Chains A and B, each alone.
Chain A
Amino acid sequence: MSKKSGRYVYCVADSGKSVNFGRIGIDKGIVYTIPSGNLCAVVHNCSKPYQSKDAEKVKGWVRTHQNIVDVAGKELGTVIPLSFDVMVKGSNKDVMNWLEKENEKLMDIIKRIKGRQEFGVQIFLDRKIMGSKIAEKNKEIQRLRKEMEKESKGKAYFLRQRIERVVKREIERGADLCFKDFFNRIKIVADDVRVDKVKSSDMLMNLSCLVHKGRIGELGTELGIIDDMEGFSVRFTGPWPPYSFV
């Protein structure tokens, strides 16, 4: 590929403005917009994708990518963030052709995300706390415990194992009910919710929520209620550009 024969695309914005943001891009690239009708692509000129085995370097690039999306959002309004390291081959004309060809699809996305932001919601469950709460209330467990007190060591051992199985089963049942309950509470406040994979055994749910700017406080209130519940804690991140909803 010849030198600078590609355009690294940070995002597409809901604006036909021509703007030069200066040397703020990845590897100090000059970031500018390529307008086409009512949309523009925020780009810098580059010749090849960004690759490195150095994790720190990549983290820096991703942060810069994010920073440009933020800056573009402030200056141009609604933006569709692109995944890191996506380039259009060719010149500005090719980017314009692409914007024109995909106009309808891109406008649909803009309409869907306008006035909204993405938030990450991760809810953690302390299974030990939930287990002891269940053990206090569950009649089957209480009955087995009483039985255990009367039995010999050997029999008591098997009863203890049975109790552990019941507790485990009840924890999973409780976790499932909480998942549904929390999901429904969040769904009411959010315009859209994506369920992502949990990242650790104590993570009950990992959601990306698309929320209207006017309802962020409501989401914070719902999450505050959950965070106050014994055995649960909430991690609330954002606002992110709507990466999960484009």
Chain B
Amino acid sequence: MEAIEPTREVNATLVDLLDRALDKGLIINADIIVSVAGVPLLGVSLKVALAGMETMLKYGMMEDWDEAYRAIAKKECGGETLKESGVKPLALKAQAQTS
């Protein structure tokens, strides 16, 4: 038996990096965050590109994003943009994750 060495070879571990840097990491106090709709939207487009929508839905990986995305879309369809409503998208994301 041999011990295994961890790898961080850039191409082989890109998905592992994306899982961490897009979904995890410190999220700072919401009232000074500017990070807007870009966060969930980026996450969606990128992850779909990497894994394919079907796979993501199958394993429930899109659920959080999906909810946040719907919440944003609902706001926008109601003729009220996020900016106007003063709702911080990150707060929406947090809501979606805790609901």
List chain A positions with a Cβ less than 8 A from chain B. 1, 6, 9, 12, 48-53, 55, 58-59, 62-63, 65-66, 80-90, 94, 98, 101-102, 109, 118-120, 196-200, 208, 216-217, 220-221, 223-225, 227-228, 234, 236-240, 243-244, 246
The size class of the interface chain B forms with chain A is 35 or more
Nearest neighbor of A120 in chain B, beta-carbon distance: B16
Asked if A53 meets B45 with Cβ closer than 8 Å, knowing A83-B27, A198-B59, the reply is yes
Q: Say yes or no: B4 contacts A59, CB within 8 Å.
A: no
Measured CA separation A12–B35 after assembly (Å): 17
Cβ-neighbour of B38 out of A49, A94, A220, A221 (below 8 A): A49
Chain B residue at smallest Cβ distance from A70 = B8
Q: How far in angstroms is the closest Cβ of chain A from B33?
A: 6
Question: Please, which residues of chain A bring their CB within 8 A of the CB of B45?
Answer: 53, 55, 58
Least distance between A239 CB and chain B CB atoms (Å): 7
Q: Which B residues contact A (CB, under 8 angstroms)?
A: 1-8, 10, 13-14, 16-29, 32-39, 41-42, 45-46, 49-51, 55, 59-61
In contact, A243 and B21 (Cβ under 8 angstroms): yes
CB neighbours (8 Å) of B25 from chain A are 81-84, 86, 243, 246
Query: Which residues of chain B come closer than 8 Å to A84, judged between CB atoms?
Result: 21-22, 25, 42
Chain A residues, CB < 8 A from B8? 237-240
A-chain residues with CB within 8 Å of residue B19 when the two chains form the complex? 196
Contacts of A119 in B (CB 8 A): 6
A246 and B26 within 8 A (CB): yes
Contact between chains at A88 and B34 (CB < 8 Å): yes
| Alpha-carbon distance between A79 and B31 when the two chains are bound, in angstroms | 23
A-B contact pairs, 27 of them (CB 8 A): A12-B26, A53-B45, A55-B49, A82-B28, A83-B39, A84-B22, A85-B38, A86-B35, A87-B34, A120-B16, A197-B60, A198-B59, A208-B20, A220-B5, A220-B6, A223-B3, A223-B4, A224-B2, A227-B4, A236-B4, A236-B6, A237-B16, A238-B8, A239-B6, A240-B20, A243-B25, A244-B20
Tell me whether B29 and A102 are in contact (CB under 8 A): yes
Tell me if B32 and A88 are in contact (CB < 8 A).
yes
| Bound: A62/B23 CA distance, A | 12
The reply to whether A63 and B3 form a contact with Cβ atoms under 8 Å apart is: no
A62 touches B29 (CB 8 A): no
Which residues on A sit within 8 Å (CB–CB) of B46?
55, 58-59
Are A199 and B61 neighbours in the complex by a CB distance under 8 Å? yes
Nearest CB of chain A from residue B7's CB, rounded to whole Å: 6
Distance (Å) between the CB of B88 and the closest chain A CB?
11
A225 to chain B, nearest CB (A): 6
A83 touches B21 (CB 8 A): yes
